[in-house]
């Protein structure tokens, strides 16, 4: 029997922006508990919570100050225990986002480590000598811009931070630091959570000789590389080391006594290592790359090529995601629009018919686009670095719209931490729930269809066609099969069904798809599904 997570739909909640129960403008755990019936009605299998531990919020939860507690702004431990119980009562799973690569600089571990070179936690972080001229030990660059090293005078050394200087990198080569990180996972599994999403799971280890990252050769550089200085380096020394696998194997072994635990990772920089870091018998249970998250083309070739790559990895069951808290929302990225319901439906249909565990970001089921952010409203350090070229990640994190007639669209009774997107008023849950043609109604029907089709939930995948407009593939399991045909373009397209000409329409489609014998006339942004006779 396949584990529960294979073919599941996991709903990502960004807690600060989901639902606020106490009017302080920050979403919290009681707010999430109050919306669990809504989440359950989507038909999802598990809820993934972005970080909820105490944090000074320099990076909004991804800078953890205490791994063993729950942030008071989120409601504290009592609210967490109530949420966990309520999730389980609805037959759902709860997955925590854990950040084991680094901590906040206010974490007691780092506060002790920075005192001197001889304290018990002196080697729990990555410290290094300055060069003779006082400059950083090597050329590593922070993901958030600038050198990945900051000097601290009490030790007369630099410490490594892959992200903000307030996020010092744990030295997981140190067995005591490593053991403490494992204790975090064990503690929350014992508390009853059902698994973890591991942040930057490719970055637990660094090169122990602190050698420079090599440059991306000039003739290989694209607009993507020039968009951000760190992209001009091959991240092979500060992260993405093959030996990183040893820690992932240890995590896999730690989770093994908890039979339903699911641990998946974010592998953002080196997609070619996905099969090394996750698999049927090694590494994490699953993981995802940024191949789809970085894509803005929505071209069939992208999906066909990445599917072929995933299928080439023996034993891998991947996670599939088009949107999350770090990237522009799907309709904004693929459609360059604040709203495009046809595109939203098409992308959702593709997400849940591709092979893998689907990760659905909050608001994706409503077809939300990014919200507008003014300079004085920016909270994200990436936005502060690059405005107006980029507003950072705040636009995809604007709060959920629940009620079109309520202050702040029902997210909070107080001023939200990020502004509500005005365009989201017409897309609020209350307006969509009673509209049979809405993106929300479509999402519910789509996920229910997936749950009832073993070929979609657990089946294999075989590519049929990937042209300039058409993406077509077949999902099959236990004698059942479904043909999936997508026109990802804005223009009409035709495709011949061939050996699937006698397959019956599934009753589920997107847009206008007239069928003339064995030929489909796919309208713009449309999809057609047919089922093999049983």
527 phi-psi bin (left φ>0, alpha ψ -120 to 50, beta other): beta
Per-residue burial over 294-322, b if 16 or more Cβ lie within 10 Å, else e, is ebeebbbebbbebbebbeeeeebbbbbbb
The one-character DSSP state at 112 is H
If DSSP codes are grouped into helix, strand and coil, which group holds residue 353? helix
Spatial separation of the C-alpha atoms in residues 232 and 228, rounded to whole Å:
7
Residue whose structure tokens are 């999906």 = 303
Catalytic residue, chosen from 45, 63, 199, 365, is: 199
Spatial separation of the C-alpha atoms in residues 107 and 57, rounded to whole Å:
12
Neighbour count for residue 366 (Cβ, 10 Å):
21
Q: Which residues contact 23 (CB under 8 A, 6 or more apart)?
A: 412, 413, 414
Spatial separation of the C-alpha atoms in residues 199 and 186, rounded to whole Å:
17
Residue 376 CB-density burial (10 A; 0-12 exposed, 13-18 middle, 19+ buried): exposed
Spatial separation of the C-alpha atoms in residues 250 and 240, rounded to whole Å:
17
Q: Which two tokens stand for residue 6?
A: 């294979």
Spatial separation of the C-alpha atoms in residues 363 and 102, rounded to whole Å:
29
C-beta separation of 87 from 94 below 8 A = yes
Q: Which two tokens stand for residue 33?
A: 């508990």
Spatial separation of the C-alpha atoms in residues 293 and 162, rounded to whole Å:
20
Closest alpha carbon to 351 in 230, 449, 248: 449
Spatial separation of the C-alpha atoms in residues 140 and 149, rounded to whole Å:
8
Q: Which residues contact 320 (CB under 8 A, 6 or more apart)?
A: 288, 292, 351, 354, 355, 356, 357, 358, 359
Angle, vertex CA 67, rays to CA 182 and CA 24, nearest 5: 155
If DSSP codes are grouped into helix, strand and coil, which group holds residue 266? strand
Query: Is 199 marked active-site?
Result: yes
Q: Cα-atom radius of gyration of the chain, to the nearest Å?
A: 23
Catalytic residue, chosen from 63, 266, 269, 338, is: 266
User: Which residues form the catalytic set?
Assistant: 199, 266
């Amino acid at each position: 029997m396949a584990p529960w997570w294979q073919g599941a739909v996991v709903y990502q909640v960004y807690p600060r922006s989901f639902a606020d129960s106490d009017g302080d403008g920050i979403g919290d755990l009681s707010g999430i508990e109050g919306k669990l019936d809504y989440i359950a009605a989507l038909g999802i299998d598990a809820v993934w919570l972005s970080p909820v531990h105490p944090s000074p919020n320099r990076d909004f939860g991804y800078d953890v100050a205490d791994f063993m507690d729950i942030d008071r702004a989120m409601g504290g431990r009592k609210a967490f225990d109530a949420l966990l119980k309520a999730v389980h009562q609805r037959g759902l799973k709860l997955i925590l986002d854990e950040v084991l690569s680094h901590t906040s600089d206010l974490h007691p571990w780092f506060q002790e480590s920075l005192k001197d070179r001889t304290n018990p936690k002196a080697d729990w972080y990555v410290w290094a000598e300055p060069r003779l001229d006082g400059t950083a030990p090597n050329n590593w660059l922070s993901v958030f811009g600038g050198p990945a090293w900051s000097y601290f005078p009490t030790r007369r050394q630099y410490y490594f931070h892959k992200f903000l200087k307030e996020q010092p990198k744990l030295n997981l080569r140190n067995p005591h630091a490593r053991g403490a990180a494992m204790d975090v996972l064990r503690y929350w599994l014992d508390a009853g959570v059902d698994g973890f999403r591991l942040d930057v799971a490719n970055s637990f280890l660094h090169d122990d000789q602190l050698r420079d990252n090599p440059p991306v050769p000039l003739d290989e550089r694209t607009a993507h590389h020039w968009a951000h200085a760190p992209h001009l380096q091959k991240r092979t020394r500060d992260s993405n080391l093959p030996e990183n696998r040893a820690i992932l194997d240890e995590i896999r072994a730690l989770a093994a006594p908890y039979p339903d635990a699911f641990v998946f990772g974010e592998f953002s920089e080196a997609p070619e290592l996905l099969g090394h870091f996750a698999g049927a018998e090694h590494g994490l249970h699953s993981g995802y790359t940024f191949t789809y998250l970085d894509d803005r083309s929505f071209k069939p070739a992208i999906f066909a090529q990445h599917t072929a790559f995933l299928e080439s990895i023996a034993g891998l069951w991947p996670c599939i995601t088009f949107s999350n808290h770090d990237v522009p929302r799907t309709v904004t990225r693929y459609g360059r629009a604040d709203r495009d319901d046809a595109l939203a439906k098409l992308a959702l249909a593709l997400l849940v018919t591709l092979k893998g565990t689907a990760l659905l970001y909050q608001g994706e089921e409503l077809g939300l686009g990014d919200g507008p952010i003014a300079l004085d409203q920016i909270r994200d350090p990436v936005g502060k670095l690059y405005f107006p070229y980029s507003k950072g990640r705040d636009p995809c994190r604007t709060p959920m719209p629940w009620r079109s007639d309520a202050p702040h669209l029902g997210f909070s009774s107080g001023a939200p931490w990020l502004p509500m997107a005005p365009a989201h008023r017409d897309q609020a849950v209350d307006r969509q729930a009673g509209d049979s043609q809405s993106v929300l109604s479509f999402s519910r029907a789509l996920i229910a269809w997936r749950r009832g089709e073993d070929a979609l939930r657990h089946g294999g995948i075989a590519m049929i066609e990937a042209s300039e407009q058409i993406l077509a593939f077949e999902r099959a399991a236990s004698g059942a099969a479904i043909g999936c045909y997508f026109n990802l373009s804005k223009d009409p397209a035709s495709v011949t069904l061939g050996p699937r000409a006698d397959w019956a329409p599934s009753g589920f489609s997107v847009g206008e798809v007239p069928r003339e014998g064995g030929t489909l006339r796919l309208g713009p942004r449309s999809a057609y599904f047919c089922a093999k006779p049983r």
